[in-house]
Chain A
Amino acid sequence: MNLIKFEDFSFKYDQAQDFVLKDIKLNIESGKFILLCGITGSGKTSLVRAMNGLIPQFYHGEIKGDVFVKGKNTKNVPTSTLSRDVGLVFQNPENQLIAMNVEREIAFGPENIGIPWDEMDSRIKECIKITDIEHLRKKAPFEISGGEQQRVAIASILALQPEIIIFDEPTSLLDPKSAIQILNLLKKILLEKKISTIIVIEHRLDIVLPLADEVILIDKGRIIEHGEAHYVINGEKFLNSGVNIPKCVSVFQKLMNQNIFTGKMPISIEETKNLINSIK
């Protein structure tokens, strides 16, 4: 089923000269862990702003085409309604935090949409567990470290249990082990069908690629590649796009250029190991 559908959508910010999104045709399906990548300024954040109505309702500008979230046109349906379907964790978590303490921060969303107390309690517990912030419950969200804030921002969106969750660089402030743990737990709740689809914007591709079912590659406001992860990373467009190619991919890319290796390039260290084992 199509959760989000872009129909020839283009957008230009009021203060900008050029369109930031150009002729976007895109279907986001359920059951997917999707990596959205592209270089700085390519339009990733703008694309996801158009997925929950922030564009055009909060960011004004010139629009062509339409975006539908579960059939609702994002031009007409208020963002407050759309946010029940689509949860967005911003690039900079600090800007998202408002409450007195971490516990209140996480409860804020579910409370506002009238989730009963006992359910809320169990949701909060689960989100706190996933993001490992039990020790921060009573702290003020402005008086914790950058990575801790990022965890709280993730937890407070998870607590809303939207069908679609979008993370704009969720691991940028997380320490490496926690980044992998949290992403794996997100993948797990996706597989348990507690959420329908996860979209992750990342520059640290090495961390997200091993989990990705699909990759969307955006360049100068256009989607230039969209498909299964191996398919995309083996393509010229991806390799020449200027994104951070993980080292294991880049090693095999070099070997391929030297005609020493042919075949599918490994997406992760696990796949690299299997590859080496297979020729032993």
Chain B
Amino acid sequence: MENDNMEKKLENLQILVNHLTYHYPDGTIALKGINLNIYSGEIVGIMGKNGAGKSTLIKTFNGLLKPTTGTVYIENDEVNNVLMSKLTRKVGIVFQNPDLQLFANTVEDEIRFSLKNLNFTKTELENQINLTLEKFKLKKFQNRTPFTLSGGEKKRLAIASIMCRNPEIIVFDEPTIGQDAEGVEFIRNLIKEKHAEGKTIIIVSHDIEFAIDNIPRTILMADGLIIADGPTNKILSQDQILNIGSLISPQLIKLSKFLIDLKIKVPEDVYIKENMVQFLGSYFKDKMGITEGGKQ
């Protein structure tokens, strides 16, 4: 059984990083020996202090940066030995800063350009453009210059222009930046949908509240190294890890720790919002002598 699982896992290995280092031309050593396995269909978060090397690491996944030493395999291809065009088709990266990604004259052209070289017929292409604009709620901006969009709108366009290519591996660098509640919900659903389709999803993020609800596994980086790798709720609740990772706990983990310190018995997963509501609900009723139907 164990062995079976092991083999299954190895077969599904999709990204394999071995002893990876990366030196920028000015001498900065941004990655100092990264080892990492990511399996097909996983949702993986990458967190860590500013300058830890997160963006540098993901830029090696589509060949944008070449390893200084060590190797990166995407499925069976070593990134150094494979055509960039093949890699960018397989790995879609939505970059941190949409301004560096967007360049077309109109929102529509931005999507059109993304879909180039995917062998669509003319009608199919126009169809795809339309579907994408609609799905990402960009239709009303169709003829606008991306430059004049608001921050959140621009981010949505940047995401759309990568997602429309339907890559196997999707990497988001800070997807929830500048998003309101609906925008965050949209990204949550997008991730769910792509996960259900079997895509591999990697999310670089400082958004602890988003991570705790949506990302099962988190890799924590510091100073060019991976310092922790495990379930997100564990990573975001251990003080020592939080300290070196320049992280804080999400609000409801803080609150559940506080309850535990008060020697109040709480269910294990009380840091999930619905559970906290239910728990505090009965706790308050109990303490305040509230009966069903409201306050006495």
Interface residues, chain A, with chain B CB atoms under 8 Å away? 13, 15, 38-41, 45, 91-92, 94-95, 139-140, 143-148, 150-151, 168-169, 172-180, 203-204, 206, 242-248, 250-251, 254-255, 258-262, 269, 272-273, 276, 279-280
Contact = CB atoms under 8 A, between A and B. Distances in A.
Contacts of B50: 145-148, 150-151, 173-175, 178
B150 interface: yes
A272 to B, nearest CB: 6
Contacts of A255: 277, 280-281, 284
Contact of A143 (B24, B245, B248): B24
Nearest to A169: B178
Interface stretch (B12-20, B112-120, B191-199, B250-258): B250-258
Interface stretch (B94-102, B123-131, B163-171, B227-235): B94-102
Contacts of B208: 176
A13 B148 CA distance: 10
B177 interface: yes
B178 A40 contact: yes
Lowest 4 CB-CB distances: which A-B pairs, in order?
Answer: A147-B50, A40-B152, A259-B294, A39-B180
Contact of B206 (A38, A94, A174): A174
B32 interface: no
A91 B151 contact: yes
Q: Is the interface of A mostly helix, strand, loop or mixed?
A: loop
B26 interface: yes
Interface in B70-109: 96-97, 99-100
B49 A178 contact: yes
Interface in B156-179: 156, 173-174, 177-179
Interface string B16-44: 00000000101010000000000000000
A247 B250 contact: yes
Contact of B252 (A139, A140, A247): A247
B183 A40 contact: yes
Contact of A40 (B151, B207, B245): B151
A280 B258 CA distance: 13
Nearest to A150: B50
Contact of A148 (B51, B177, B251): B51
A178 B246 contact: yes
Nearest to A176: B248
Nearest to A206: B251
Contacts of A179: 206
A153 B285 CA distance: 49
Given A40-B152, A45-B150, A206-B209, A273 B258 contact: yes
Contact of B55 (A145, A203, A259): A145
Interface string B263-289: 000000000010011001100110110
Nearest to B176: A203
A138 to B, nearest CB: 10
Contact of B48 (A169, A175, A261, A272): A175
23 contacts: A15-B144, A15-B145, A39-B182, A40-B152, A40-B182, A146-B55, A146-B96, A146-B97, A151-B50, A175-B247, A176-B247, A176-B248, A203-B177, A242-B181, A245-B181, A247-B252, A247-B273, A254-B277, A259-B294, A260-B294, A269-B255, A276-B280, A279-B288
B208 to A, nearest CB: 6
B260 interface: no
B259 interface: yes
Given A91-B178, A206-B251, A269-B254, A258 B49 contact: no
